[in-house]
Structure 1
Amino acid sequence: MMIDIFISPQRYIQRKNLLEEAGQYTSSFGRRPFIVGDSVVLSKIQAVLVRSFQQAGLEPHFELFGGESCQSEVDRLVDVISQGGYDVLVGTGGGKSLDTCRFVSTRTRLPYIAIPTSSATCSAASAVAVLYEKGIRRGTLSGKGSDLVLVDPEILAKAPPRLFAAGLADTLAKWYEGRAVIETVQKDVPTCISLELSERARDLILDKGFEAFRDVKKGQCTPAVEEMIEVAILLTGIISGLGGTKIRTAAAHALYYGLGVLEETRRTFHGELVGFGILTQLVLERREPEVKSLMEFFSQLELPLTLEQIGLGGVSPERLKLALEATCKKGSSIHNLPFPVGIQELREALLTVDAWGKAITG
């Protein structure tokens, strides 16, 4: 038996007003931090970071993120860092920015601090990062986690509620996909613990997720919100690390990557497409009662339940086939399911989810 896992991050801190101490924590890694973030994110946190870094005697440089986790953006940031002599990398924002910074950290060998501003993905605490090109996955990095994650829940609670809900759906995939593939892999202690933690994460979300979502919509950072942030970022990152390559993705993430070939879906968040993929996978597994129960929960979180809600309301059969072919191609994680899935089966499952979703949404 062989165990090959990545545990990330090395340190995780979550508390209100934490960014006021960002300089103190960053000074343990370097004196010239290179901070990456988009204009929206930096408009919210740059002032407090500048103040904190200056108080710690640091010389920060802020660099605008190009907007996509792609090879050209990684190359650009690596060049700027190499010319400027910076000694610690700080990624801010959401999954694309944080994934990009993980690739940059690997290339430059700089310590990496992640400051997420939403809980839409677990990227801040994950040891995996993905590169895209025009919305299509082109590369994956495994094994480089954050040296430090700084989470101010009040900042994350002010992010759009839609991002919050998407993060809960993405977290739920750990259980639904993990359960589907567990019988096909050789089990070891980390694998079993990973699956148990994913089940616990599911239970926590189903119990408190809607309450937390309502609080976020009211602009409140309540204990329920803080707990869901912990689940969506920290716990999910630990689950991914312990599960390694054994607790793998299945149909939910395969469909996310497959649908990514269609430009119509690119305004739909990662977790929203993954959530739709969970429902589709459950249909493929013939778990009808579970599908319908989860759909009711997703409806409470205002997550998409129909093809129209993920941008495919008027998609032609030919274009939909492109996404189905991408989802079912050789090497796709849909083939991690313990039974074969082809284009026709996947099409029927998608249309079933769409029909059931329409019955709920009206």
Structure 2
Amino acid sequence: MRKALILPTKYVQGEDELLNLGYFVTTFGKSALLIANPDDVERVRPQLDATAKKFDITFYEGGFNGEVTREETKRLQAVAEKYQTDCIIGLGGGKAIDASKVVAEGEHLIIVPTIAAQDAPTSHSAVLYHADGSFDDYAYFKQSPSVVLVDTKVVAKAPTRFLVAGMGDALSTYFEARATHNSYSRVNASLPMGSREGLTPPASGTYAALAMAKLCWENLQEDGLHAKIACDANLPTEALNKIVETNILLSGLGFESGGLAAAHAIHNGMTVLAGTHHYLHGEKVAFATLAQLVLEDAETEEINAVMDFMASIGLPLTLADLGVESISFEEALEVAKIASIPEESIHSMPFPIVEEEVANAIIVADRIGQAYKDAHQ
């Protein structure tokens, strides 16, 4: 059986790590195109100035308009070409990071997340959008980022909601990787540059990836609440360090090389529910994970453990928590139809997918979540 695992060349995490960013730029040359929202740059301006001076390198600020469109990434590529920069830096949240991946095309790329809200930083993939924010396409590159650098002091000072949302995204990692492992399904690590359809034979996940995905869930249970409390205080404790690594590294490697399944597909289907549009990716993925567990008839003890964790850090347990006060079967079926299109990851589940059963699972997950909340008031 063919298996695949893809990793960033280097992952570095610690307090004041941004002060070492210039060193990593020097491994490529003397200059870097910085792709970031201007507000995110200003948040870390002192560290950027200090590291540029210490290592005698130059940052050319390309800005970022907030959406990963083909037009915006072409504009940024032109800036990189104009200044002949030696590497690309993606700094900030997920969209600036994805834009930097498209600009770099898999070469000389440094990723600097300033929040731990999702698990994209380590991956070799990006999502393209149209100018109106609607989905355009996926892009895959020949390798993962050269460096992923995380300053835990910066992450600790970001709003706690981002860290919690990252834990929601990380929550799905083990359960989706387990399903993918059990069905021997293809994982993203086997996808080549520029194509969602493999030019090489598909590959399933490695045992290493499954083990990292399981550690992801274990870490969340052990230190998720303590990390949230530390972030509330803007202090980078060891619990926060563990959860930042869990949200970014373990979940990133776990989803890409371990596999996605129903949770992320259901999340994608939930975009038709207008009430969810103001909620973060990881908040919606957390509820979708509960729906996946209902769909696969997971053990009651496991479902309860997941809800205990979600409740402890304030993740949404019901659709009402995501702005959807009620849902009809017809509305749930519309979500299920989008979640079940042929190319979606839901087909990595180890059983045939029936749209009506997916809709049922969404409705029942909502009611189980409400019953949990009623019992713990």
TM-score of the two chains, using structure 2 as the length reference = 0.87
Counterpart among 260, 267, 291 of residue 249 in structure 1:
260
Give the CA deviation at 1:2.
Answer: 2.5
Residues 50 and 60 of structure 1 are in contact (CA less than 8 Å); yes or no, is this contact kept in structure 2? no
After TM superposition, the structure 1 stretch with the greater mean CA deviation from structure 2, 146-155 or 265-274, is 265-274
Residues 127 and 237 of structure 1 are in contact (CA less than 8 Å); yes or no, is this contact kept in structure 2? no
Give the CA deviation at 1:351.
Answer: 1.3
After TM superposition, the structure 1 stretch with the greater mean CA deviation from structure 2, 204-213 or 79-88, is 79-88
Aligned equivalents of 1:4 and 1:44: distance in 2?
38
Give the CA deviation at 1:36.
Answer: 1.1
Paired position in structure 1 for 2:3:
3
Aligned equivalents of 2:4 and 2:209: distance in 1?
13
Paired position in structure 2 for 1:191:
206
Q: Unaligned regions of 5+ residues in structure 1, if any?
A: none
Paired position in structure 2 for 1:165:
164
Paired position in structure 1 for 2:81:
82
Identity, % of aligned positions: 29
Give the CA deviation at 1:278.
Answer: 0.8
1:311 partnered with 2:323: yes
1:207 partnered with 2:222: yes
Cα-to-partner distance string for 1:201-253 (whole Å, 9 max, x where unaligned)? 21121111111111111222111101111122222333345x3xxx3211101
TM-score of the two chains, using structure 1 as the length reference = 0.90
Give the CA deviation at 1:318.
Answer: 5.6
Aligned equivalents of 1:340 and 1:190: distance in 2?
20
Paired position in structure 1 for 2:41:
42
Aligned equivalents of 1:320 and 1:114: distance in 2?
37
Give the CA deviation at 1:122.
Answer: 2.2
Counterpart among 276, 290, 303 of residue 279 in structure 1:
290
After TM superposition, the structure 1 stretch with the greater mean CA deviation from structure 2, 51-60 or 217-226, is 51-60
Give the CA deviation at 1:96.
Answer: 1.4
Residues 28 and 108 of structure 2 are in contact (CA less than 8 Å); yes or no, is this contact kept in structure 1? yes
Aligned equivalents of 1:76 and 1:189: distance in 2?
36
**Aligned amino acid, residue 272 of structure 1:** E
Counterpart among 121, 124, 138 of residue 124 in structure 1:
121
Aligned equivalents of 2:327 and 2:204: distance in 1?
45
State the number of aligned residues.
Answer: 355
**Aligned amino acid, residue 220 of structure 2:** I
Paired position in structure 1 for 2:311:
299
Paired position in structure 2 for 1:14:
13
Residues 177 and 255 of structure 2 are in contact (CA less than 8 Å); yes or no, is this contact kept in structure 1? no
Distance 1:92 1:217, change over 3 A: same
Residues 165 and 303 of structure 1 are in contact (CA less than 8 Å); yes or no, is this contact kept in structure 2? yes
Paired position in structure 1 for 2:50:
51
Residues 39 and 64 of structure 1 are in contact (CA less than 8 Å); yes or no, is this contact kept in structure 2? yes
Residues 128 and 143 of structure 1 are in contact (CA less than 8 Å); yes or no, is this contact kept in structure 2? no
Q: Unaligned regions of 5+ residues in structure 2, if any?
A: 187-202
Distance 1:80 1:315, change over 3 A: farther
Give the CA deviation at 1:328.
Answer: 1.3
Counterpart among 239, 242, 252 of residue 224 in structure 1:
239
Residues 92 and 112 of structure 2 are in contact (CA less than 8 Å); yes or no, is this contact kept in structure 1? yes
Aligned equivalents of 2:109 and 2:272: distance in 1?
31
Aligned equivalents of 1:189 and 1:258: distance in 2?
24
Aligned equivalents of 1:3 and 1:357: distance in 2?
36
Give the CA deviation at 1:141.
Answer: 1.4
Give the CA deviation at 1:12.
Answer: 1.5
Aligned equivalents of 2:255 and 2:141: distance in 1?
11
Give the CA deviation at 1:280.
Answer: 0.3
SS in 2 for 1:125: coil
Distance 1:76 1:312, change over 3 A: farther
Aligned equivalents of 1:239 and 1:320: distance in 2?
28
